[in-house]
Chains A and B, each alone.
Chain A
Amino acid sequence: MMDAQPAEGFVTADGRKIGGVVMEMKNITLRFGGVVAIKDISFDIREGEIRAIIGPNGAGKSSMLNVISGFYVPQEGEVIYKGQKRPPMKPYEVARQGIARTFQNIALFEGMTVLDNVMTGRLNYMNTGLLSQAMWWGKSQREEIENREVAEKIIDFLEIQNIRKTPVARLPYGLKKRVELARALAAQPSILLLDEPMAGMNVEEKEDMSRFILDVNDEFGTTIALIEHDMGVVMDLSDRVVVMDYGRKIGDGTPDEVRNNQEVIDAYLGVAHD
């Protein structure tokens, strides 16, 4: 069902460009001792698309995201990124390769301001020496200003200008989620991973977040892979959906295909045992 899309890319009905495969997960298996968290799962992520991974609690969605971002190393399987097999890497090395992420229970630098948090997303774009930065010499100054401009643009885009200088610890939950998104975006990632971006939000906040995710994808063409267990939200957002249950993949395709998949319906609604 998923090979219905042409390999070299295409344009969606609403005019967004979807490119070729940027990341491919091949037969991933992840175990914690005797517990199999992910069992032989394969899927791919295309450039410019919004790809969702859904499933009931404990299905292994977060584990999958952690495999992509390098926090977990799978026992079996390959991660192919931009056409090359990725060797086992530390999370910070994965981040430097252009994969940014957010966390389910928000991991922000609480003591720092919103602007400083977003600026940490730019760290890997700053290359001038320590001494020249400290002295505020020409090249470093230009570098800081350029990176600051990118950060400010993203802050404007996510409508958090009014809290730029506020320490993150003072912000309410919904705004923190948005700041985390801003920090991840600031890295101008090839793939943006969102771990339950809507978790714990009220309806209004969920709508806001959905809008921002769509806008980010539309405006910057960012490839987004997100995890949710709330099916409704995901179906409206994503181009393609992977469905997981008990560590296995039980469905993969467009939201409509997935919605009509009997195994998915069983996993979500339960099966009558008669």
Chain B
Amino acid sequence: MPEQLLFAMEVILNGLMAGVLYALVALGFVLIFKASGVFNYAQGVLALFAALTLVGIMEGQVPFSHLINAIFGTDLHHFGWEIPAIAAILLTMVVMVALAYLVNHYIMRHLVNQDPIILFMATIGLAYFLEGFGDLMWGSDIKNLDVGLPQGLNGFIDETTFNAFGYGFFIDNLDIVASVVAALLVVALVIFAQYTKQGRAMRAVADDHQAALSVGISLNFIWVMVWSVAGFVALVAGIMWGSKSGVQFSLSLIALKALPVLMLGGFTSIPGAIVGGLIVGVGEKLFEFAIGPMVGGATENWFAYVLALVVLVFRPQGLFGDKIIERV
């Protein structure tokens, strides 16, 4: 096989893996959107916050240490213990559920029956609050996250492809783990939304608050549940991205990459988020590989947005989204 083709194949594979990570973030958006009709601007920050909390707990960091030190003149930084990754992940999940409860208690439940745009504005406020709160709680330096996921070159794939084609593919172990996790997550979420009582109630709440109340659905319960699930998805995304590129503020900006993914896949479709993520991942890698050199590179920064724009022109509801029907 010609080297160029092999190289392109490797690029596609890597694109798929990157796409999975985009899809993970996009999933959080879709979930909240389906459940409450709200575009949750805070999803990216939620992932950052989850990752920060996880690192903080694992390293035994004292929360709000800067604040405490400044007020009381102490010099606290660490408790001096380390917590194993599994326990820390569970503890972080507890924090995320508590956060979900607070979000509902102080924000969502006061906004019953309001327009989606009002709820959207509320999530923007939440995003900025959480960003600052995360900094205050855990500090703003870049941290390493290592929960023991395998990283680096996958030897088996490298060897097999080298023996078969005479060219070893470079695939990161972490990306493989991310793909498997994302696949499991999607299956679990689809089953949850489509086939369980709570899932049905969740879709009902998204559609009409009044009607949901009239069939006996507790809005508070559903919202806490939805935000907990979103927190869980954010935690998974935070772990994957954090392991890959460190836990830092830019983690919350990956949320922006989820936007073109959502426009491609459609805001209301879980499979759409996955396919959209894969298309963006492969598309931008392949574009950079094929066209990048001709235009001076760095196409990855804008390719996804242009792609989304093109899709918007032809299919405003995205590839998989519900068609918007308005009776006049």
Contacts and interface: CB of A to CB of B under 8 A. Distances in A.
Interface stretch (A15-23, A78-86, A120-128, A228-236): A120-128
B203 interface: yes
Contacts of B215: 95, 100, 120-121, 123-124, 183, 187
B103 to A, nearest CB: 20
B197 A69 contact: no
A100 B197 contact: no
Interface stretch (A102-110, A196-204, A214-222, A238-246): A102-110
Contact of B218 (A92, A111, A126, A130): A92
A100 B214 contact: yes
Interface stretch (B22-30, B155-163, B204-212): B204-212
A107 B210 contact: yes
Q: What is the interface of chain B mostly: helix, strand, loop, or mixed?
A: helix
Interface string B206-232: 111011111111110000000000000
Interface string B183-218: 000001001100111101101101110111111111
Given A134-B195, A170-B325, A109 B211 contact: yes
Contact of A116 (B200, B211, B325): B200
Interface in B248-278: 268
Nearest to A183: B215
B82 interface: no
Contacts of B213: 71, 90-92, 95
A123 B214 contact: no
Among B192, B211, B325, the one with the most A-chain Cβ atoms within 10 Å of its Cβ is: B211
B214 A134 contact: no
A108 B219 contact: no
A169 B325 CA distance: 7
A136 B219 CA distance: 25
A136 B322 CA distance: 27
Nearest to A91: B213
Contact of B197 (A90, A116, A126, A184): A126
A96 interface: yes
A120 B200 contact: yes
Interface residues of B, number: 28
Contacts of A123: 197, 200-201, 204, 215-217
Contacts of B268: 111
A82 B322 CA distance: 44
Nearest to A124: B216
Interface in A112-169: 112, 116, 119-121, 123-124, 126, 130, 133-134, 136, 169
A134 B196 CA distance: 6
A134 B187 CA distance: 11
Contacts of A134: 188, 191-192, 195-196
B203 A112 contact: yes
A51 interface: no
Contacts of B206: 111
Contact of B207 (A110, A126, A133, A136): A110
B211 A130 contact: no
Contacts of B216: 92-93, 95-96, 123-124, 187
A101 interface: yes
Nearest to B192: A134
Contacts of B195: 133-134, 136
A95 B201 CA distance: 14
A96 B218 CA distance: 10
Interface of B: 188, 191-192, 195-198, 200-201, 203-204, 206-208, 210-219, 268, 322, 325, 327
Given A110-B207, A120-B204, A120-B217, 6 more contacts: A92-B213, A109-B212, A116-B200, A133-B195, A134-B195, A187-B215
9 A-B pairs with the lowest CB-CB distances in the bound complex, closest first: A95-B216, A107-B211, A109-B207, A91-B213, A133-B196, A96-B216, A126-B197, A107-B210, A124-B216
